[in-house]
Amino acid sequence: MIRIIVCLFLGMTVLGCSSKQVPDGFPKKLTRFKVTLLYEGKPVEKASIWLYPDNAKYHVNAITNANGVASMETTINVYSRPGAPTGKFRGTIVHRPKVPSDLTTEEWQKLKSEEEANAQWKKIAEEIAALPKIVPVSWGNVATSPLMITIPEKGGNVTIEITDSKTHQQ
């Protein structure tokens, strides 16, 4: 019996020590919210989506997966939780496409010098520059991005579809 009590006490102590304190300004209630990003009907992978409320310490962000879906999470500094608070947000989207010269973490670690790494970064940058811009560059700056998203109380999903002629938000 004493062994069980000691185990329970140690378990609670470990859990208590590892939990992070909720920072001031973090929203009290979050709801599930996803953004789907499409370019001419096809999913856009590896796009960073950031949502900023007016006059708040937190932001909402995520990176799209292979299906173009970003499951949003709310963050202050290093404290983060899945979901998003309700309200109106200004948004930014930055897309960093995958290119042939991309390396895995292991491949980067095998490079022998800073010069090799710089040469690899230059090659990647050249490949990215040669690709068409799927997401307009102006969308990467909160001051110039036209993106506005309202997250309702029940959460949900929003789809942003970019085409060469116009952009739709559903």
Q: Which domains does the chain have, with CATH numbers?
A: 26-97+134-170 (2.60.40.10), 99-133 (no CATH)
Distance (Å, whole) CA 45 – CA 33 = 18
| Coil/strand/helix, residue 46 | coil
Residue-wise pLDDT tens digits, 68-117: 999 999 999 889 999 999 999 999 999 988 888 888 889 989 888 999 99
Please give the pLDDT value at position 133. 81
Distance (Å, whole) CA 66 – CA 69 = 7
Q: Is pTM, for the whole model, over 0.75?
A: no
Please give the pLDDT value at position 84. 96
What is the four-CA torsion angle of 111, 114, 120, 123, rounded to 10 degrees?
-170
170 residues of the chain, pLDDT tens digit each = 444 444 444 444 344 433 578 898 899 999 999 999 999 899 999 999 999 998 889 999 999 999 999 999 999 988 999 999 999 999 999 998 888 888 888 998 988 899 999 999 999 989 988 888 888 888 999 999 999 999 999 999 999 998 865 555 54
Copy the structure tokens of residue 108: 């980067």
